[in-house]
Amino acid sequence: MSSSALIAATSEHGSLPLAPIDQPSGWFLRGLYRVMRKRYGVVPTAFRVMYGRAPFLAFVSLVIGLGLLRCLRISNELRTLVQVSTALRMGCTFCADLQMAEAAMAQVGRERFRELLAFEQSASFTPREKAALRYTEALAESLHIPDEVWSGLTAHFSERERLDIVWVCAVERYFNSMALPLRIGSDHLVDRVTRSA
């Protein structure tokens, strides 16, 4: 195991049950690692822990990621707010950090994310965004969403947009449910991309 794997073998969630793989086999993973290193300055821990062992998971995740970028009717900014809110409420620091790094590269800014969990008291969010964030808040408490939350979504979003919000949250929870049991925490990617900008 390399020294970088030893350093990354713990996170704020504890000791990783699977050591990161720094030197993957196969052209697909080597290419993916190269792209991630170029994009973030490092290969994120989740990629080295999961995808280094199961390249098919990387392929599935790439397809899902393309769906999030290309197939939604809601804006990328709203999608990012929903993803980060979901990840923070689930306690997934890796996923929140990854999405905030992507937002920083898209120049969405970090200020709004500081107020994300207290969105109701913040003037930084539109009524439309607050309706979507109420959904993420309710979802963190129960999969049975109250009628008033649905009413709020209905007032601001079309049926297709509401399905987009539901799907984005489901996808984010899927990623959270892989990272959290494996104790994968933040790689501080948002700090790296902000410094290099």
Residue 4: how many CA atoms within 13 Å on its side-chain side? 11
54 and 104 co-located in one domain: no
140 and 170 co-located in one domain: yes
| The predicted structure's pLDDT at residue 60 | 95
Q: How far apart are CA 156 and CA 154, in angstroms?
A: 5
183 three-class SS: coil
Contact between 179 and 165 (Cβ < 8 Å): no
| The predicted structure's pLDDT at residue 107 | 80
Looking at residue 100, its amino acid is M
Q: Which domain holds residue 63?
A: 3-67
104 and 161 co-located in one domain: yes
Q: How far apart are CA 64 and CA 41, in angstroms?
A: 23
118 and 21 co-located in one domain: no
| The predicted structure's pLDDT at residue 8 | 46
pLDDT along the chain (197 residues), means of 10: 53 94 94 96 96 95 92 94 96 96 83 90 95 98 97 98 98 97 96 80
| The predicted structure's pLDDT at residue 109 | 67
| The predicted structure's pLDDT at residue 197 | 61
Q: How many domains does the chain have?
A: 2
